[in-house]
Structure 1
């Protein structure tokens, strides 16, 4: 792939020192584009490719380290001299960006996404509102660089935006950590792979050798994917070394508080680097086992790759370029909606079963996550949601282990259980399969190789089933209600591909309620892969609602149960990727004109039960913090939020995580209310109230700020550089005025020395 030449021909706004034309060129002096201060959202950028016959295969977007958009929509167009005149305009989808808080805004996030866009003239980027943080005082968004990679007669060479990843914008050969070597061109001869950790250097050299071997074998696609993964690891490794050097410098200068902060950053970045390295190694396990580059032994290779394989999904193995680990370690896969881009892996005998279940079981340990043709797609771990729990909406449940002859029907109208045998194989002509167009992650397989779904029982929710059959067809509905998760996932992918057609025929009024009912079951699915795919379908439906300008009064009743389920998902800390997906979707609801932040604020403030798990309370506080940060008091009033925290016993909860989440929420509200928040903290102990006052006084607010007085410092003294306190010594008691004897000293035990001194 080559870098396609383009020019920014239109932008909705720009800051004077950071114009949009900065995106036209790549150089060490490139500063990138930034939106105007306190601008309205969304902002738009329109890129015109110099060759109208260009075919875009990959899009790379490098975001600013602190002025970070929440999401970026991508639209392509062709058939016109200007974007507005194009006859063929298509929205590909969107990418979501991390808030970058865990890296303390030290690293820049690179989004590298594969697309299929032939003969493209224009690319339009719709940049949504920013992540709010203390370094982004003017609520701006910024992009450092953009790359369009593909095939064209008009190219500008093989250039990568990887050289602009660090927030310090270091140029090749001028790194602050003393490393040498060029950045452009990736790792290898033009780039030093020597780091302070010799084992890391050996592992990187092994990956570099595999990349060169793939390139020599003309396997350029895999080589490009591995290069992107390798550059991601080396960028994080450079950040680790840089943070370590800064930490030591702070310690030498006896700035121990700064050294402690840098140490935490270094460890978080190192964790993200190790995760990214394991991902890269897992994408080429076989090649690494046969490669001994840099003196790295086979045992070390096997140890690292086996560790990575436990964490990788089948989709990562098939398409590692879709993987990007942010400095926080969060694994994301951002994929655009495009017919024919997807992946569902068929059953095979290599799946490790969990607790003796059969090969078609929901709970199989392998949970592939393919490119499903949707907006943001969040990666996940191999294991499903913790322990199995019942899904009230599921028509079929797994048979008991050992009973492999069929599936047990659950939820029948008469309350009886009946045994349902597995259906016989159904044959379809080529191109006529109901799931046609949904590719498998197994390159040699097709949808014809998927198992046949069970027949629907008369005891099913017939009214709902009939509505789905009317718009999807019986076979697809059988797949959706199947006990086989691959079938459920495949039909959700197919539904995503059919959304636009379904809205046209049979029409929105018929299709939307049925699709929302389908999604309501899917988001409650116990398999994380199916859950994540259901979010793609949900985003598609929400997008169609927005296009049709459906009023919120019509949309909310169809989506309310889905919103409630997603809020429950936030507390499932065993599956962080599913939590991230649910969180992103809830924010999308708040941003949508069909739902809105006012409704989401009212839902987030619903009272919690009297006895609830701490993780549920933490999840609700985090959702409220996000709404306050994004919308201020437009979504939820600060006073209502603080009353909610008090009712949930957040301030003095015995669980430390709840107290921390409550304090973070108060900090968000302080920016709007100022010192008025103190009136809601009256029940706190003097010590806790003093801590709140000190923390809040350091923050900015549009209200009246808290000013510390002598009473806030009385009784505490900091020891130099140490996070401990020493109580001030109490002053000695004065003798009573008018004379009198001083109190006699106490004896040393057993009654000796009692009484006043004096002779007998």
Structure 2
């Protein structure tokens, strides 16, 4: 499988600032193709391959904010009749604040010469003012075949094997692009690398050199050398991704004339490049197998292992969008194939029928604190931080060698450490850090769902432990837990959402044991009393859904509201002595078995006669 050359031959329309011809050149750092402003959807984009080819992989890198809700794929041999393969669904990218780019990878086995993308309505957000859809880059992988003409029975059989739909002819509104007049260009040096979409050509070539050297070492059964090369390959990818993020942030800072930020980012880049020079020295052994792997450009990303066959996977490209200066969020250090699978959308309809959940993540050895797999999402231009590490716990202390942060969660003992958060995000999450610590906070904001799930489950477990909750203000505990629940229930991974629901139940149990929370909840109810008045609030308090006796906690809360209303507003129209005493008598508050209820009834009576 190799990267196939193609050119854009037609599109429904294009923005002058983002012509479709930009897709002909490999560049994952630019804006790519943009549909016209305020256009009608769907929009179509047609690519022509260098000849009849057997397609095995299609990769689409979406814009960070101009995102289509759905992209349909069609194949053809003659640019006249197209067979529909299926569609890709993209996320709205709201979670990353529109700073990450989603990469969709589709594995197929079909013969075609033309590939058509039908772009559907975009997601609406404040960064997409003109309702556009953007495609930053497209990568087609497969093998070229000899020209057999459109009537080849073999090709027709392959197209028939795909999911056919009603034949479609090229729309008359589709206009040829300037790219159709240009000759095909020779492939880049990294064309053989199927993950080339995430790298610039030079970096892809360097990573490829090390990968080839590693394969040679394996063939010669020099496994020590292969292990060293593997570590070096991962380090080159990690550092290069950090540089890519910083370069994008620097360009945006210069565009905004924020030269102080540009200088600061430049210093960080130089610092990181200096660490590259020291860290990428070839290990002892056959150093000639490295090529010139010492230095490499800033913009790169690689996934040297594609996801499993017959599966549609979703990952985020780590190159920052040119419109937003940003550095990093977080992600665990793990092999590239796990990075892809960890973002697999299990609810998404794939082009292939097969689908399976991502495998459990395993702890990977850390070669250096500075070499960590960069995140997908970019948040701000804060300096890069080193990855928080879980302290190693001696087995004699009862930790069993597992991660002490996840004590009580045996299935999380081998989770890799999360990627560090930017300083600005940590400062914004100071309340959460003070309660659950920096490590669990980083896990909660991780792009890897296993980390998010583990952090939520750990907090739910700790809510039942007085040693965890007693030293902290209960309001802070509920505030942090509410933040985690609100984010968790909207997570696209079902397991994370279920864990958030369990945390919500834990919050309710926690609140029932703290009288101060009940009292402060009353204050919150009264916050709007200047608008609606005490009688309106009281009418809802006195209302009963059935004739059954109110539960203890419900009655206690209602009496607390009545007492607070009397203390602050006193009696008034529709909130009279008769209505209050009638409510107390209906619920037998003066003779209730609970002392708390009797005390509240007595306090209410005293308040009315003062």
Q: Which category describes the TM-score, using the shorter chain as reference length?
A: 0.3 to 0.5
TM-score by length of 2: 0.36
